[in-house]
Amino acid sequence: MQTLRKASEGAEFELSSVASTLLAREALQQGEFDLLILDLGCSGERGLDRLSNGVALAAGLPVVVLTGSNPGRIETECLRKGVLHTLSKADLNPVALQRAVRCAIDRHAIGQGVREANEKLHDFAFRASHDLKAPLRRVRALLGFVEEELGGDCSQSVRDYVSRMEAQLESMRCLIDSLITFASAGSKPLRPVSVELEQALDEALQNLEPLLEASSVKIDRRKLPSVRADKAGMVTLLQNLIENCVKFAGEEAPLIQVDSSVSESQCEVTVRDNGIGVEPSDLSALFQPFARLEVKEGVPGAGMGLYLCRSIADRHGGDIWATSAGPGCGTAVHFRFPLETA
């Protein structure tokens, strides 16, 4: 702490220091601060715990982390948690500290502007999607009147035209519903808590119960860990992945495997199917908006499911990707999230 105070002498900011997390929480509640400087004081698991507690304590403030002489995992964990500014105590001096503080505050302001712009964009998409539903309902009603007027006197070609129009209206409805879902998910604030993925999977399967029963799906599930995440987001993520497995099933009855692996402070969950598979060159395109690869005819949806999954992963600072050996070999989607630490 003395080193930090000395390095802050003559700086263009005022430093207020406390000696514990409890005192820091009280200070943040009582006063207005522009930045949190977090002195981990140690490395290894204790340092990771202090980092997690400090980032949670910051509650949206920019953070500068002071590390020891051998930061190792700490710097990696800082990046994963969105803390972009670390400073080794060995390099601590007034110039370096002031530069780190200024960069952190400026970057935070830029990020805040981007977040506000994204919120406005999501709000626009949400409102526009709802407004589009009204004319869609009117067109569907008018088409119903046309069918009633024609009765049984119309030709087969006219019936085909009407059927094709109904199919296009249904596609438009799916697209609008997908936009509304995406806009809603992007505008809701994340509420990270300890989430048992076992329970999130149970809820996702319950939501999909009619589809799973109709498709005679077999689920092979292994024990899943707990993660630090938004519970609703985890349910949506798992639900979309499993629904995709059913949609793109092959000739055999769908078999879906849900498994996980744990390494250090992260877990990787894999949802694997025995479906139609994907060309390896097309895998990255799966997570683009409105991605509808021509691999199977008659599949409902607007191609927004995996894009929404990617959005959920990105907002959590996680990662998501797909693997497949090619057509007929099934597809696996993997996502990686931070573990819930005790």
Please give the full DSSP string across 312-338, using - where no structure is assigned. Answer: HHHHTT-EEEEE-SSTTS--EEEEEEE
Q: Residue 11 is which amino acid?
A: A
Mean pLDDT of 220-241: 92
Q: What is the band of 44 on the pLDDT scale with cuts at 50, 70, 90?
A: very low
pLDDT at 59 (0 to 100): 67
**pTM for this model (two decimals):** 0.58
User: Nearest-5° angle of CA 169, CA 172, CA 175?
Assistant: 155
132 Cβ neighbours under 8 A, 6+ residues apart: 176
- Residue scoring higher pLDDT (4 or 66): 66
pLDDT (0 to 100) of residue 48: 63
Q: 336 is written with which tokens?
A: 């990686």
Q: How confident is the model at residue 190 (pLDDT cuts 50, 70, 90)?
A: confident
Integer angstrom CA distances of residue 279 from 121, 180, 283, 293: 33, 30, 7, 10
